[in-house]
Amino acid sequence: MSMKTTAEKLADLRARLEKAQDPGSERARAKRDEAGFTTPRQRIQRLLDDGSFVEIGALGRTPDEKDAPYGDGVVTGYGCIDGRPVAIYAHDKTVYGGSVGVTFGR
């Protein structure tokens, strides 16, 4: 069993969170960008009050799939619209073509 330091564990977590920011394939991301579409996080940021978005489930993924993308095809969280608390989610078209994975479906 390999022992990791806290610093190594934090570096791994940061790398995973960075990868989760735009988890679709390079081809899917290029297609989205070429078409002029925004990312789900950009859409959420435009809708919510500045700085109010708190993402949950960014590292969720389909179990038993070693290379499953983070987020399971959807960005979820909560924030505020005009000061009112709301729950929010947006589908990520670059993952599973905009449908959702098993973990989100649960």
More confident residue, 84 or 104: 84
- pTM for the whole thing? 0.75
pLDDT of residue 100: 63
pLDDT of residue 23: 81
Q: Mean pLDDT across the stretch 81-105?
A: 80
Q: Mean pLDDT across the stretch 7-15?
A: 93
Report the SS3 class of residue 76: strand
- Amino acid letter at 72? D
Name the average pLDDT for the chain: 85
Among the listed residues 73, 81, 40, 39, the one whose alpha carbon sits nearest the alpha carbon of residue 57: 73
Among the listed residues 94, 105, 103, the one whose alpha carbon sits nearest the alpha carbon of residue 25: 94
Report the SS3 class of residue 103: helix
Q: Please give the domain boundaries of the chain with CATH numbers for all domains.
A: 6-105 (3.90.226.10)
Q: Mean pLDDT across the stretch 61-90?
A: 87
51: confidence class by pLDDT, cuts 50, 70, 90: very high
